Amino acid sequence: MIDTLKQEKIALEVIKVLKSRFDSFPDDLAQSRNAPFHQAFLGAFADKLTGKVLSIPFFISLSSWAHGLSTTLGQNFFENVAHILCDGAKKEFTTRRTATLKLSPSQKRAVSTIVTELSNGVRQPNVDAENELIFVGDDVETIAATDFTADVFYQDAGQIVCLELKTVKPNKGVFKYEKDKMLEAKAALRNKYPNKEIRYYLGFPFDPLSVTPTGYDKVRFARYSVDFRKYIAPDEFLLAAELWDFLAGSERTMEMILEIINAIAMVNFLDDFEFINEVENLKIDSVAYLDLLSKWRLEREHSLAKRAAALEANMRGNATATRIYNQPLFTEAGKYNEDRCVRLQAL
């Protein structure tokens, strides 16, 4: 079971995404994006679009907006939720960060040999067999490993875990490059952490071929992308519910994430956001205010709101505390006012 604080942090990510996407929604047709080439081509589909979209310019703007939502999910939301679930972080091993890892020449050659044999079909991907080859390197000389960034990185007493979050529609030919990077990264991490197990995964947030939201079929998914099976073993990637359960160390995690999103992502979201963001509404309609805080999984705010009378008594005569209490819960961009919460909890 995911604890209430982590559920709250996920809810805050949901609120932030929704607020930003509402703010950029193309309501005004006069502001529709100028895309003359798209509009010219889409003229051929005018009969198919009639009755389904308001206009071609609006359809173009809406498509751009939807693409922006996909980008936000892929570059921010999935990564932030992953960090929340596993208590990990993004970590760069790059020259820019002066954190490049080291390989021995023999490890570099082993990686090159494995990738070449995979490309030629001489070898099948096998994590244990590959690890035996790349984890052996006793050369005195060392060379810099290829730069890489782990979208999710964490370590505990016995292991290092790296995970790269990927789009569910990878580009053709990407997996040869990914395999080379993964092998070098594992070898270099083993050199840096010789007494720990090194685990490196590719992660895909959902299975686009599944008929259910959280379902997945790894065999089918691997066939979906060109050269996937040639380079990546089944135990080197995590898919859909498998990914989220792995990160959380708990079952039904993806269902829980979707439940939080569905509870907040309602048609009246903006009205609810404005209502909850005005602390005075707690006095006007405490039942609705507390219900909304609970529905949105805002556990700390719910706890503070239930103790509003005690808080106000403690703030009496304290102008600073009163000002902090009356601050909005969120910025206009949907970012949570964490400082307000922490300072009120101290009261």
What count of residues does the chain have?
347
pLDDT tens digit at each of 347 positions of the chain: 789 999 999 999 999 999 999 998 887 665 666 788 888 888 888 888 888 887 888 888 888 889 999 999 998 999 999 999 999 999 999 887 677 788 999 999 999 999 999 999 999 999 999 999 999 866 677 888 888 999 999 999 999 999 999 998 887 778 999 999 999 999 999 999 999 999 999 999 999 999 999 999 999 999 888 789 999 999 999 999 999 999 999 999 999 999 999 999 999 999 999 999 999 999 999 999 999 999 999 999 999 999 999 998 888 889 999 999 999 999 999 999 999 999 999 88
Task: Please give the Cα distance from 294 to 284 (Å, whole number).
Answer: 17
pTM score, whole prediction: 0.93
Neighbour tally for 140: CB within 10 Å? 6
Type and span of the H or E element at 243: helix 241-248
pLDDT of res. 89: 97
Query: In sequence order, what are the beta bridge partners of 89?
Result: 153
- Spell out the domain ranges in the chain: 4-83, 89-258, 266-345
Over residues 175-227, the pLDDT tens digits come to: 999 999 999 999 999 999 999 999 999 999 999 999 999 999 999 999 888 78
Spatial separation of the C-alpha atoms in residues 254 and 245, rounded to whole Å: 7
Is-contact 187 137, C-beta < 8 A? yes
Residue 315's Cβ-side half-sphere holds a number of Cα atoms within 13 Å equal to: 18
Helix or strand holding residue 259 (H, E): helix 253-264
Query: Exposure string (b/e) for 175-189, b if CB count within 10 Å is 16 or more?
Result: beebbbbbbbbbbbb
